[in-house]
C-alpha cells in the first residue's frame, strides 16, 4: 500500500464522523466529490417522501395542510436549520430559490436604509447574486458597486452589501465577522450568501450580528435537487421587515382572504406563496442526519480532508491549487489546470466525480459527513493518471 493510502486508512479509522457515511445512499465504486453542487441522498429521505406522497397527499389530501403540518413547514424546517446557521428559533424561513431570497433580502435591505442608493456586490460572486442585484438596481433606481470582498469600503451611500461566505469558484472563505462589522460601521446592512458554507462549518449568524442571510439547501445540506432555499432575518429586524415578495402566505390571516395586506408578526412575514411541500419535506427528512452532529468536528474534518487532498495532489501531480491553504476555506478544493473541462470528463469516466468551472477550474467538494480520506487519495491518483 502507498504511504498516502496508509495515512488515509489511519485517518479514516480515527475519524469521529466515520459512521455518518452509513446514513447516505452511496456506492463505494464512485468517489463522489460534488456534494458542493448536489449533496448525496440521505437514506431516510425516500421513505419519508413516499409517505408524504402516498399517505399525506394520497389519503389525507387537503387535510394535510393542518393535520400533517404542511402549513407551518416553512418555519418549522427553518427552525431545524437554524442551529446549523447559528440562528435562534423563529429567524429562518424555508421556501423559494436562493435567487428569489437574494431578491427579497436586497430589496428588504434597501428599504431598511431609505435615502441610501448603493448596493455593494462581491465582484467574484456566483452569477445569480450579481444578476439579481442588477435587476434590483434597475427596479429601485439603486446603483451597483462591484468590489473584491477584501477591498470592500462601504460609503455613507451604501444601503446594502451582498457577499458570499465561501466563493463558489476558488473555495475561499471570506471574513464574515470582520466584513459584517465593517459594513455595519458604515451604516449599511449586510446580506450573506451561505450556499457554500452551511453544512461544512459553524456559521454563528446571531453571534456575528448578521442582518440578513440566504442559501441553498441542496449542497452540503443534502436537501435534494431544487430543494427550497432559506432566508434568515436577525430577530430585532423582523418587526420592521418589509420584504418585496410578500404573498398571501405571509399575511397575518391568510384565510381571511383580506384584500388589504397585513403582514404576519414573526418570521412568517418572510414567506411568499404556497410552499413546495414535496421538496420541503424531503429537506426536512434530510436534516435528520444532523441531529447529533458536532459542527466543530465537521469543520475540523473539512479542513483536514481538504488539506490532505492537496497534499496528495502535490505529491502525485504538478497541478496548482487556488483554494487558500490557511483556514480560509470551506469544504472545497479548486485546482487550476489546462484543459480542465476535458480532465474533469476523464475523471468522471473513471468514477471520480467533481465538476468544472470555466475557464480552467476543477472543483472537488469534500462533504465531511460522507467523504473519506481514502476518497481524497483515490481522486488524486485518478487525476495523476489522467494527466499522464
Ligand atoms: C453562491 C450561490 N448562490 C446561489 C446559487 C443558486 O441559486 P438558486 O438556488 O436560485 O439556483 C448557487 C448555486 O450553485 C450558489 O453557488
Q: Is 227 in the pocket of ligand 1 (CB under 6 A)?
A: no
The conformation of residue 104, written as its DSSP 8-state character, comes to: H
Ligand 1 centroid–CA 223 distance in Å is: 14
- β-partners of residue 121 are 146, 162
Does residue 1 surpass a pLDDT of 80?
no
Question: Which tens digit of pLDDT belongs to each residue from 115-162?
Answer: 999 999 999 999 999 999 999 999 999 999 999 988 888 999 999 999
For a substitution probing ligand 1, which of 94, 121, 126 has the most ligand atoms within 8 Å of its CB?
A: 126
Per the CB < 8 A criterion, the answer to whether 368 and 202 are in contact is: no
- Strand extents, DSSP E, 103-196: 118-122, 143-147, 158-164, 189-193
φ, ψ dihedrals at 244, nearest 5°: -85, -10
Choice among 79, 167, 193, 355 that is catalytic: 193
Q: Where are the alpha helices (DSSP H) in 244-372?
A: 277-286, 295-316, 340-349
Choice among 103, 126, 168, 308 that is catalytic: 126
Residue nearest to atom 5 of ligand 1 (CA): 98
pLDDT of residue 150: 84
Question: Which tens digit of pLDDT belongs to each residue from 16-64?
Answer: 999 999 999 999 899 999 999 999 999 999 999 999 999 999 999 999 9
Choice among 299, 301, 363, 372 that is catalytic: 363
pTM of the entire structure?
0.98
Per the CB < 8 A criterion, the answer to whether 280 and 337 are in contact is: no
Per the CB < 8 A criterion, the answer to whether 81 and 221 are in contact is: yes
219 is catalytic: yes
Q: Write down the residue that cell numbers 413547514 correspond to.
A: 73
For a substitution probing ligand 1, which of 123, 128, 231, 245 has the most ligand atoms within 8 Å of its CB?
A: 128
Rounded Cα–Cα distance for residues 7 and 15 (Å): 12
Residue nearest to atom 6 of ligand 1 (CA): 98
Q: Is 229 in the pocket of ligand 1 (CB under 6 A)?
A: yes
Q: Is 128 in the pocket of ligand 1 (CB under 6 A)?
A: yes
Q: Is 164 in the pocket of ligand 1 (CB under 6 A)?
A: yes
Task: Report which of 165, 150, 101, 97 is spatially closest to residue 331, judged by C-alpha positions.
Answer: 165
Give the dihedral of Cα atoms 327, 20, 68, 50; nearest 10 deg.
120
Mean pLDDT along residues 97-123: 97
Ligand 1 centroid–CA 282 distance in Å is: 19
Q: Is 193 in the pocket of ligand 1 (CB under 6 A)?
A: yes
Phi/psi region, residue 204 (left: phi>0; alpha: psi -120 to 50; beta: rest), is left
Rounded Cα–Cα distance for residues 289 and 369 (Å): 9
pLDDT of residue 149: 87
Per the CB < 8 A criterion, the answer to whether 98 and 229 are in contact is: yes
Amino acid at each position: 500500500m502507498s504511504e498516502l493510502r496508509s495515512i488515509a486508512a489511519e485517518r479514516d479509522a480515527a475519524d469521529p464522523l466515520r459512521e455518518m457515511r452509513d446514513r447516505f445512499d452511496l456506492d463505494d465504486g464512485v468517489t463522489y466529490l460534488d456534494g458542493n453542487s448536489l449533496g448525496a441522498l440521505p437514506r431516510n429521505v425516500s421513505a419519508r417522501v413516499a409517505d408524504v406522497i402516498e399517505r399525506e397527499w394520497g389519503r389525507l389530501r387537503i387535510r394535510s395542510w393542518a393535520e400533517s403540518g404542511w402549513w407551518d413547514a416553512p418555519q418549522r424546517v427553518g427552525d431545524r436549520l437554524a442551529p446549523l446557521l447559528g440562528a435562534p428559533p423563529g429567524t429562518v424561513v424555508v421556501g423559494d430559490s436562493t435567487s428569489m431570497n437574494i431578491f427579497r433580502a436586497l430589496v428588504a435591505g434597501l428599504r431598511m436604509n431609505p435615502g441610501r442608493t448603493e448596493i455593494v456586490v462581491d465582484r467574484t460572486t456566483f452569477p445569480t447574486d450579481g444578476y439579481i442585484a442588477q435587476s434590483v438596481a434597475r427596479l429601485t433606481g439603486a446603483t451597483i458597486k462591484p468590489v473584491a470582498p477584501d477591498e470592500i469600503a462601504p460609503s455613507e451611500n451604501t444601503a446594502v452589501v451582498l457577499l458570499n461566505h465561501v466563493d463558489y469558484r476558488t473555495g475561499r472563505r471570506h471574513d464574515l465577522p470582520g466584513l459584517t462589522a465593517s459594513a455595519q460601521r458604515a451604516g449599511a446592512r449586510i446580506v450573506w450568501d451561505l450556499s457554500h458554507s452551511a453544512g461544512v462549518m459553524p456559521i454563528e449568524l446571531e453571534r456575528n450580528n448578521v442582518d440578513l442571510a440566504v442559501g441553498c439547501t441542496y449542497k452540503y445540506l443534502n436537501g435534494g435537487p431544487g430543494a427550497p432555499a432559506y432566508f434568515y432575518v436577525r430577530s430585532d429586524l423582523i418587526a420592521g421587515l418589509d420584504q418585496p415578495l410578500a404573498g398571501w402566505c405571509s399575511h397575518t390571516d391568510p384565510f381571511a382572504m383580506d384584500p388589504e395586506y397585513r403582514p404576519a408578526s414573526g418570521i412568517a412575514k418572510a414567506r411568499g406563496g404556497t410552499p413546495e411541500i414535496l421538496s420541503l419535506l424531503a429537506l426536512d427528512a434530510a436534516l435528520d442526519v444532523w441531529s447529533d452532529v458536532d459542527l466543530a468536528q465537521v469543520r475540523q474534518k473539512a479542513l483536514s480532508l481538504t488539506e490532505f487532498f492537496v497534499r496528495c495532489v502535490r505529491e502525485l501531480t504538478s497541478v496548482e491549487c487556488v483554494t487558500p491553504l490557511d483556514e480560509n476555506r470551506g469544504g472545497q478544493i479548486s485546482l487550476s489546470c489546462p484543459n480542465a473541462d476535458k480532465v474533469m470528463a476523464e475523471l468522471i469516466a473513471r468514477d471520480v466525480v467533481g465538476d468544472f468551472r470555466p475557464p480552467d477550474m476543477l472543483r472537488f467538494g469534500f462533504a465531511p459527513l460522507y467523504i473519506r480520506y481514502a476518497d481524497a487519495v483515490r481522486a488524486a491518483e485518478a487525476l495523476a493518471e489522467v494527466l499522464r
